[in-house]
Chains A and B, each alone.
Chain A
Amino acid sequence: MKDIQLTIDHKTIQVPEGTTVLEAAKKVAVNIPHLCYHPDQEIKANCRICVVEVKGSRKLSAACSTRVWEGMEVLTNTRKVRDMQRGILELMLANHNQDCLKCHRNGNCELQDLCERFNISRTHLEDAVDALPLDNTNPSLVRDSSKCIKCGRCVEACQNVQEVHVLTHSHRSTRFNIAPAYEMPLEDTLCVFCGQCAAVCPTGAIVEKDDTDLVWEAIEDPSKHVIVQVAPAVRVALGDAFGLPKGEIVTGKTVAALRRLGFDQVFDTNFTADLTIMEESHELLSRLSQLSKGEKPVLPMVTSCSPGWINYIEGVYDDLLDHLSTCKSPQQMFGALSKTYYAELKGLAPSDIFTVSVMPCTAKKYEAARPEMTSGGVREVDAVLTTRELARMIGSAGIEFAEIEEETFDTPFGIGSGAGAIFGATGGVTEAALRTAYEVVTGEELLSLEFKEVRGLEGIKEAEVAIGDEVVLRVAVANGLSNAKTLMLQIRRGESPYHFIEIMACPGGCLGGGGQPIRSTNDVREKRMDALYKIDEAQPIRKSHKNPDVLKLYETWLGEPLGHKSHELLHTHYHSRGK
């Protein structure tokens, strides 16, 4: 591609053909204001805040959608540009519920940042905030259209990235809004609660349902034994919220902070990730052995640990539910054990234990609230906090997260293998399952543990793995539901060549989840991914079936993978969500 020479604010630069003015300006250290623009999304040019002067153009040009041309002269900082950008911001503010101090996104809001940048104090416009009723009746997400600036990022996340097609534009002009069809509440739609909309929202128009009060209350309640589990992807993202470098590994700090918050025990979801691998790889092997006996098991077997994905398949591909592994997710396996095994161990009634999980995910809230997710007669997971909510709790407790000294997890759910850690990245479950399946089938030690073909941010990855001399396992890995769709349609057509498919609802897997600190761009996802693989590499135990506490759990209590107790506690069933 050839280079284009242009000037931006009289500075001459060369950029590749096809570069937008907004991108080119970054190269001369100019950050043109933007709101609908998102580095991982299509260009929309709706908000118009990025307008700049281009010599020879009658009107201003949107920097996000205007491509550079040879000899172009761009001015980003003239009085005219500043006045127009500011005016557009004033127009947005006039239709924005400015309860900023009471907003979850206070201090972390792109609109607020621009107000600061443009030194907005008063405007000449009358407020004209029109809003639909607050949509807060589902367990995962809250939509407040009075804060929506109609940038369309959420619509793109919902329609193009996830292909869930729930959020859409409705009406026109002053009634123009972003909502599900017929403005139904989310739980009456096929929303999967992945929260990718909330993750890209520049303001507080879509946020996670806040459960921090519920958790504070439990911690304060002397009759409750409050335990917490931390998902693998949280430990490579929580630091973002405290200004640490993106992708910094903060496992020990997280454990310490949770203890300071008052949790009685702090556990690791990596432990139940290992347990999931034990169950899931044996389930796969059992289906494969049926195959070798000439029977017709349901293949490919598809993973079930991503609750956004489960919501999606139950809604859209409910004819393929038999393909799902019956394993509960690591969160729910933990919850089930906490109310049974752990209760017995501690001599507590299941109802006296309050189980909290810290997840990178908003759909986990929905999953925990499912009626089938009960064990020992009680709800398995009592409250789910997203990474963002945990950050808020740490902040309100006055804990200096960056300074806090590292601590380690408690037993009996404190050891997680490297395989458990990489659950947080797309391809991680597959890699973890392969490590175990290989050794279970062949009885030999796997020498090369890393299956690099299933790593990375690519939407669909595939690999063939020889397990012993006879079995060649064909696997596919998808992240983002639009990619899941491709693989599901293949199954529906009877053309799926795979034995095993891993699906994570969110781009990048859990590390890119809808509950992670805001501004999780693909660049940030990559850093988190590197960090998870670093955790794996540094781990003395890197295979789930070598986790000593998992083995102990089977020996002393569960019996064997896919055994009776496992079925009762660690496996589930699925429903069609109806259409």
Chain B
Amino acid sequence: MPNTVSFITAHFDKHNPDDLASCLAIGGFGGLKRALGLTPAELIQIITASGIQGRGGAAYSTGIKWRQAADVPGDDKVVICNADEGEPCTFKDRTLMEKDPFRLLEGMAIAGYAVGAKHGYIYLREEYRHLRPKLQKAIDQARTNQWLGSHIQGTNFSFDITLYSGAGAYVCGEGSTLIESMEGKSGRPRIKPPFIKECGLFQKPTLVNNVETLSAAAAILDFGAEEFKAYGTEKSPGTKLISLAGNVRRPGAYEIPFGMTLRAIIETIGGGLEEGRILRLVQLGGASGRIAPASLLDTPYTYEDLAKAGLDVGSGGILVVDDRTSVIEFLESIQDFFIHESCGKCTPCREGNRQIGRIIARFADGAPRPDDLETAKRFATIMSNCSFCGLGETAQSALLSAIRHFPEVFELGAFGEGDEAGLKANANVKASAAGVAVGETIGKHSFKGERGERA
């Protein structure tokens, strides 16, 4: 694949993910082996030096997070791998677990060693239950071969991993909610403080990291922080797994260096749009991400450049939507998602999503009320400012960015025409045959198809 790289995914397709021996044969667990020869402080120094930021969406420095976790007093700490990959159109963690589960286990053990934890948990989203046997097998094999369990590789470090399945709520991807869910409670976010790093799962100091973050940490230990930093830009070092989805010819999970433009990602990796199709919009970071019109496609995919353009890496999802879906239809599906997934705990999210849903439905019917746009904007702003947790804060990202970039579709009486006007502006990014090597017809599912799967 042009422009993709293999750092975190270095072992993909080179071993049998069901067989530890085949993984060890290509140097598997090399990162953990190296880690065990370092002090935790030295290890954390390497992670900090790599500049890697949390891949779950918050983009907080992993090195600093580990340092803080290590500094929390206590010898009964917990590492949780957040494998509740709930953002629609995001599936890179699934790919990581399918193709190299050992990298993840290795990363968890490294994190445990770094922060002083003996127990690890993988919180696997309910929809990934088909991965349970594979992950359990990997855990069992690693334990049998002393890469997990008591006295790993004859050292004084012991660390074991328990697999835990969620029950299917999107909000459980939020760290404290995930912990509530693991404790057997309803998935609703906790009040902070206390912070989970001090008082998390079963009141123990807890480190929660995303699948990709942990896998990347193992790869960084294995190949070196400098090797990682050879990719990317100064402020966004390294590589990133993206989930390229929607109306592109080659959707999939890809590892890319930071710094490619969105256009390059869509055209060279994704194979561009289908013949004759016009790009409507791109959504970055899952359903909670903002949307961009074609005019922003030359933005480099880095934390800093996306931020300047009012966008966000988020979950690493890149959803491409062509002219078969209107902006309003798109927003309707996003809104349906959040009305379904709000936990209901706080007023802005519970009631705001419902009210905005009604307004978007009126736009979809072509019969908005005169004050609907202002009302939707007002309550979307209230949601992003006042909600209890990240779900409510970000649920209206798509709507607010749509109002900014596609004002014409909300203009009263211009329904339909507004969408046409938007498309004309986007016409310069018609599927360019140049970007498509082979005329494959993959990626035919529209966003509505994705919704069907969710339901």
Contacts and interface: CB of A to CB of B under 8 A. Distances in A.
A78 to B, nearest CB: 12
B386 A59 contact: yes
B379 A46 contact: no
B376 to A, nearest CB: 10
Contacts of A59: 384-386, 393
Nearest to B338: A173
B191 A60 contact: no
A149 B355 CA distance: 16
Interface in B255-313: none
A172 B385 CA distance: 21
A49 B342 CA distance: 18
A492 interface: no
Interface stretch (B75-83, B345-353, B404-412): B345-353
Contacts of A417: none
Contacts of A128: 351, 354-355, 358
Nearest to A130: B354
A174 to B, nearest CB: 5
Given A125-B375, A169-B186, A60 B347 contact: no
Interface string A44-85: 111111010000000110100101000000000000000110
A173 B353 CA distance: 9
Max chain B C-beta neighbours (<10 A), residue from A87, A92, A174: A87
Contacts of B379: 87, 91, 125
B356 to A, nearest CB: 10
B348 A91 contact: yes
Interface in B333-387: 339-348, 350-355, 358, 371, 374-375, 378-379, 381-382, 384-387
A134 interface: no
B55 interface: no
Contact of B355 (A60, A126, A175): A126
Interface in A73-131: 83-84, 87-88, 91-92, 94-95, 124-126, 128
Given A44-B191, A128-B354, A150 B382 contact: no
Contacts of B346: 45-48
A574 interface: no
Interface in A242-298: none
A489 interface: no
B210 to A, nearest CB: 22
A176 interface: yes
A88 B342 contact: no
Contacts of A67: 193
B398 interface: no
A171 interface: yes
Contacts of B384: 59
Given A84-B386, A173-B339, A173-B340, A94 B347 contact: no
Given A45-B388, A48-B386, A92 B347 contact: yes
B169 interface: yes
B188 interface: yes
A83 B354 CA distance: 19
Contacts of B188: 169
B347 A48 contact: yes
A402 interface: no
Contacts of A124: 371, 374-375, 378
A305 to B, nearest CB: 36
A92 B351 CA distance: 7
B366 to A, nearest CB: 18
A172 B191 contact: no
Interface string B384-399: 1111100001000000
B191 A65 contact: yes
Contacts of B378: 83, 87, 124
Contacts of B355: 91, 94, 125-126, 128
B347 A47 contact: yes
A45 B347 contact: no
Given A43-B191, A91-B379, A125-B375, A173 B344 contact: yes
B354 A60 contact: no
A94 B358 CA distance: 13
Nearest to A96: B351
A60 B388 CA distance: 10
A174 B191 CA distance: 21
Given A43-B191, A47-B346, A173-B343, A91 B388 contact: no
Given A59-B384, A128-B354, A150-B350, A176 B345 contact: yes
A456 to B, nearest CB: 30
A67 B193 CA distance: 9
A175 B345 CA distance: 11
A473 B343 CA distance: 52
A94 B188 CA distance: 23
Contacts of B171: 172
B343 A150 contact: no
A51 B342 contact: no
Interface string B3-16: 00000000000000
A44 B347 CA distance: 12
Contacts of A172: 169, 171, 186-187, 341-344
Contacts of A60: 385-386
B351 A94 contact: yes
A36 to B, nearest CB: 9
B388 A174 contact: no
B191 A45 contact: yes
B331 to A, nearest CB: 18
Contacts of A91: 347-348, 351-352, 355, 379, 382
A73 to B, nearest CB: 17
Q: Which of A44, A92, A176 has the most B CB atoms < 10 Å from its CB?
A: A176
Given A128-B354, A173-B344, A175-B344, A87 B382 contact: yes
Contacts of A65: 191
Contact of B385 (A43, A47, A51, A94): A51
A365 to B, nearest CB: 32
Nearest to B342: A173
Interface in B170-192: 171, 186-188, 191
A196 to B, nearest CB: 22
A26 B164 CA distance: 45
Contacts of B342: 172-174, 176
Contacts of B358: 126, 128
A94 B384 CA distance: 19
A95 B344 CA distance: 13
A49 B348 CA distance: 9
Contacts of B371: 124
Contacts of B382: 84, 87-88, 91
A176 B344 contact: yes
A82 to B, nearest CB: 12
B185 to A, nearest CB: 10
Nearest to B384: A59
A238 to B, nearest CB: 34
A42 B355 CA distance: 30
Interface in A137-189: 149-150, 169, 171-176
Given A48-B386, A87-B382, A169-B188, A174 B354 contact: yes
B63 to A, nearest CB: 23
A48 B347 CA distance: 7
Nearest to B375: A124
Contact of A88 (B339, B343, B386): B386
3 cross-chain pairs, A with B, having the tightest CB-CB distances, nearest first: A176-B344, A91-B351, A173-B342
Given A45-B346, A51-B386, A171-B344, 9 more contacts: A48-B347, A48-B388, A60-B385, A62-B388, A92-B351, A95-B354, A173-B339, A173-B342, A173-B343
Interface of A: 43-49, 51, 59-60, 62, 65, 67, 83-84, 87-88, 91-92, 94-95, 124-126, 128, 149-150, 169, 171-176
17 contacts: A45-B346, A45-B388, A47-B347, A48-B387, A48-B388, A51-B385, A59-B384, A60-B385, A84-B381, A84-B386, A88-B348, A91-B348, A91-B351, A91-B352, A173-B339, A174-B350, A176-B343
